[in-house]
């Protein structure tokens, strides 16, 4: 099996040590860093994302695969910076004010990273102003919000209001998700996309950013 394929296989199994060793070896053997990224790490993560969507793998599998991806990325990053690999886009992600659930948000971040986004994690219990301030600061394409409590869902609308008040609503692609969130709610508060899972979020985010460029 070609070394890049092996990287993808080990990543899907969550074998961080093997991924790290193989990425190091591939670089030493002169493999193109972009091919290692796209055909090894990112393609492995996409496969896991698809399986997660179909309930063929579960949250812990995705978490360990993502950890393996991050280990490989850490080896690869200095080389990608050298050759100036542009991210697909930038995303600012957080769990809304009053809400401390972050497992889903973290999965969304990993999947977005998996399709090539630069991620800025705001953490949990995030004030509406902070979403907008950070997006402006880093020049984000996407603002992503997560909520797991029906009592904190309205705070997603507060972020939309904050964007409108500053005349910035059209500047960003706004995405929301979390177990109690629905398509209907997304329409009511005027965001661009709701998706029920992290893999679909990554797919749609990539497409939406590419369409805007
Ligand atoms: C784990 C958990 C906790 C943990 C959180 C740990 C952590 N670090 O996140 C702890 C114990 C801290 C906790 C606390 C509480 N919890 Co809680 N918790 C859960 C539980 C069991 C699982 C949530 C989870 O992680 N699911 C797994 C992830 C992967 O799924 P997910 O978040 O939905 O994310 C997926 C999608 O929704 C989507 N997605 C998520 N975010 C985003 C963002 C974007 C932009 C997009 C596009 C997509 C997207 O992609 C993800 C992956 O595919 C749920 C039960 C449940 N079945 O949901 C209750 C639940 C959410 N909790 C609940 C409650 C009530 C509470 C507490 C109020 C309990 C209490 N009385 O103290 C507190 C609130 C604390 C607070 N202020 O936030 C209720 C909420 C009811 C409601 N509808 O309001 C639930 C539903 C349990 C229940 N049946 O009553 N909780």
Give residue 14's domain range.
3-82
Centre of ligand 1 to C-alpha 46, Å, is 24
Q: Is the CB of 112 under 6 A from ligand 1?
A: no
Contact 13, 67 (CB under 8 A): no
Q: Which residues contact 23 (CB under 8 A, 6 or more apart)?
A: 7, 36, 40, 41, 72, 75, 76
Same domain, 55 and 134: no
Q: In what order do the strands lie in the sheet with 173-177?
A: 117-126, 89-96, 142-146, 173-177, 193-194
Same domain, 103 and 188: yes
What does the pLDDT profile of the chain (213 residues) look like in tens digits? 799 999 999 999 999 999 999 999 999 999 999 899 889 998 899 899 899 989 999 999 999 999 999 899 889 888 877 776 788 999 999 999 999 999 889 889 988 988 889 999 999 999 999 999 999 999 999 999 999 999 999 999 999 999 999 999 999 999 999 999 999 999 999 999 999 998 899 999 999 999 998
* Boundary-marking domain end, from 52, 82, 112: 82
Q: Which residues pair with 25 in a beta bridge?
A: none
Q: How many domains does the chain have?
A: 2
Same domain, 75 and 180: no
Q: What is the CATH number of the domain that holds 57?
A: 1.10.1240.10
Task: List the one residue out of 71, 44, 89, 62 whose CA is nearest residue 207.
Answer: 89
Same domain, 66 and 116: no
Same domain, 116 and 22: no
* Boundary-marking domain end, from 51, 82, 113: 82
Q: Which residue, chain included where needed, has tokens 């009511």? A: 188
Q: Is the CB of 195 under 6 A from ligand 1?
A: yes
Q: How far apart are the two ends of the chain, measured CA to CA in Å? A: 37
Distance CA 73, CA 200 (A): 22
Distance CA 176, CA 85 (A): 28
Task: Supply the pTM of this predicted model.
Answer: 0.88
Three-class DSSP category at 125: strand
For residue 191, give both structure tokens: 């965001």
Q: Is the CB of 59 under 6 A from ligand 1?
A: yes
Q: What is the CATH number of the domain that holds 206?
A: 3.40.50.280
Of 62, 101, 154, 199, which is best to mutate to test ligand 1, by the most ligand atoms within 8 angstroms of its C-beta?
101
Three-class DSSP category at 48: helix
Same domain, 115 and 174: yes
pLDDT in the model for residue 42:
86
Q: Which atom of ligand 1 is nearest to the CA of 152?
A: 84
* Boundary-marking domain end, from 64, 82, 100: 82
| Run of H or E residues at 94 | strand 89-96
Three-class DSSP category at 90: strand
pLDDT in the model for residue 206:
95
Q: Which residues contact 25 (CB under 8 A, 6 or more apart)?
A: 3
């Amino acid at each position: 099996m070609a070394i890049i394929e092996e990287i993808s296989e080990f990543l899907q199994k969550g074998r961080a040590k093997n991924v790290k060793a193989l990425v190091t070896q591939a670089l030493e053997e002169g493999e193109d860093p972009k091919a290692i990224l796209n055909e090894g790490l990112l393609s492995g993560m996409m496969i896991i994302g698809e399986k997660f969507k179909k309930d063929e793998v579960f949250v812990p599998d995705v978490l360990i695969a993502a950890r393996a991806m991050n280990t490989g990325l850490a080896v690869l990053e200095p080389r990608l910076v050298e050759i100036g690999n542009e991210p697909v886009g930038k995303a600012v992600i957080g769990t809304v004010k009053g809400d401390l659930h972050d497992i889903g948000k973290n999965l969304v971040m990993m999947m977005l990273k998996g399709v090539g986004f630069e991620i800025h994690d705001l953490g949990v219990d995030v004030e509406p102003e902070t979403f907008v301030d950070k997006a402006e600061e880093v020049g984000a394409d996407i603002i992503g919000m997560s909520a797991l409590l029906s009592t904190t869902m309205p705070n997603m609308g507060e972020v939309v209001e904050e964007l409108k008040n500053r005349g910035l609503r059209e500047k960003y692609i706004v995405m929301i998700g979390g177990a109690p969130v629905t398509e209907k709610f997304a329409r009511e508060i005027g965001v661009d996309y709701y998706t029920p899972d992290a893999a679909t979020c990554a797919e749609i985010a990539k497409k939406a950013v590419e369409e805007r460029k």
